[in-house]
Copies of this chain bind each other. A is one copy, B any other.
Amino acid sequence: MGRPTINDLAAEAGVSLATVDRVLNGRAGVREATVARVNEAIERIGYVRDPFAASLARRRDFRVLAFVSDGDGQFLGEVRAAVQKTAISLLSDRVVLELEPFRPDPHLFAARLGAINPEDVDGVVLMAPETPHLRDAVRHLRERGVATAAIISDLPNSRVDYFIGINNISAGRTAASLLGRFLGPGPAKVAVIADTLTARDSLDRRLGFDRVMAEDFPEVEVLPTIEGRGDPQGLEAALRNLLRGHPDVRGVYSMAGGNRLLLEFLARSGLVPRPHVVVHELTPTTRQGLQTGQIDAVITQDLGHILRSAIRRLRAGRDNRPILQEQERIRIEILVRDNLY
């Protein structure tokens, strides 16, 4: 007999196909009592919408805009590349995913979000720092019926519908867990490097890192964070300064960006023994660092998976379908030279 169809559902609920359709697709003009009757019938006969038929009957594609900063860090480049790659593979699934790089100007960006026409766009994927303007723009988007998903970095005050990314406290803990073990017993000094500690991600990572170091590796001294702030000369000077004060540093934890410079600096400084290095995000630089042995471990997240997951969630939300939690969990991946893909 196969799965129940909307016909079975209509019969079970004692209503017409038109009403079933109104309920299933959230159209107006149905009494609450009738909605309830249909929903009960859904439960009773276990009706599940056929996504294939639904997608076929719906004559338009599922349209998603992905906003990613147009900045020039390697990681941002990876994210943009992943969006474009994912877009191609999703075409055959009736999904049109478009990348919109944006200038980091809060006003412009908010205006762009405000100009989105809900008729043309089903969902929006955002990788952006949270600002008051953004927060308001996102809320406004939601009110107009456009679903929103933050990726990689959460927007906790913007009430996005979904956040798809890793828990950065756990990521920081993971880094400490590895680095602490690499250092072994006994006292050791560890340097921590970040682009800027104002970003939510870095703060969380630092928090998790410090906690595990304090609890599990009390003999490790975590030096004050070096902030690169996207300024190569500044970072270089800070690193040199660090090494002067602590020539016996034995571990380095890099929470974001600036890894190319860091690796060059470490190579030049010729520390013996080579310090243990744990960094975040797989990029051409960190990949090479793993292969050459300059980096012990990279903590990363699968960008393709994150984007596919964001699309699946936006779509499941629109279709009022459940998701498979397990599949949508974004892993904190640990890469060493030998499990690098």
Contacts and interface: CB of A to CB of B under 8 A. Distances in A.
Task: Give the secondary structure class of A's interface.
Answer: helix
A336 B178 contact: yes
A327 B304 contact: yes
A296 interface: yes
Oligomer copy total: 2
A307 to B, nearest CB: 11
Nearest to A337: B177
Interface stretch (A12-20, A139-147, A150-158, A179-187): A179-187
Interface stretch (A31-39, A49-57, A105-113, A130-138): A49-57
Given A52-B94, A304-B327, A341-B331, A185 B273 contact: yes
Contacts of A334: 333-336, 339
A229 interface: no
Contacts of A332: 338-339
B93 A170 contact: no
B338 A331 contact: no
Given A182-B181, A339-B174, A324 B51 contact: no
A173 interface: yes
A48 B93 CA distance: 10
A157 to B, nearest CB: 26
Given A53-B56, A92-B51, A273-B185, A212 B308 contact: no
Nearest to A276: B181
Contacts of A92: 48, 50-51, 321
A22 interface: no
A244 to B, nearest CB: 26
Contact of A174 (B176, B184, B336): B336
Closest 4 CB pairs of A and B: A173-B338, A332-B339, A334-B334, A184-B184
15 contacts: A48-B91, A52-B56, A52-B94, A89-B324, A177-B337, A177-B338, A181-B276, A184-B184, A185-B273, A208-B338, A302-B331, A304-B326, A332-B338, A333-B333, A333-B339
